[in-house]
Structure 1
């Protein structure tokens, strides 16, 4: 979480469903629903960190693992949006 609080440019991917993001998103986050991540793999770049967020951190943990399995640098935002 410390890195997320810095001013560094970063890729935050909000994987919540459409109805969930209607309540708000983190500034600068990109919305890619969890089920569509495989369809968006071509948009991810190697050697760049991605911070994956969902409502509570459970779904984002799964997506983080999926991205890591495909050799991407990915981090789960523990606690998800509920932590904010």
Structure 2
């Protein structure tokens, strides 16, 4: 599984790199704050919303601590998507939230 740290994500965002971040937490968790520009697709709905994603794009997957994002990674990779797991999830995130 390909991984990226929360600090590496923050640097890429600061450098205006075009990141595609999917937050797989539940809506009530996301309401407490998410990485600016991230798309919320709760893990339980991911299988049904995969068709919204582009297989030519790499997605950074985020959850609360890294467990659910790992499950999302396995599911998406098995369907041919390019994905990377943000280690530590939102617990490790020190950047801005919206």
Q: Same fold (TM over 0.5)?
A: yes
| TM-score, structure 1 normalization | 0.93
Following superposition, the deviation at residue 69 of structure 1 comes to 0.7
**In the alignment, what sits opposite 2:61?**
52
Structure scoring higher RCO (CA < 8 A, sep ≥ 6) equals: 2
Following TM superposition, the consecutive aligned residue runs of length 4 or more in structure 1 with deviations greater than 4 angstroms are none
TM-score, length-normalised on structure 2? 0.80
Q: Secondary structure at the match of 1:64?
A: helix
Q: 5+ unaligned residues in a row in structure 1: which ranges?
A: none
Report the equivalent of 1:26. 35
Total equivalences in the alignment: 83
Root mean square deviation of aligned Cα: 0.9
Q: In 2, distance between residues paired with 1:37 and 1:28? A: 18
Structure 2: gaps spanning 5 or more residues: 94-98
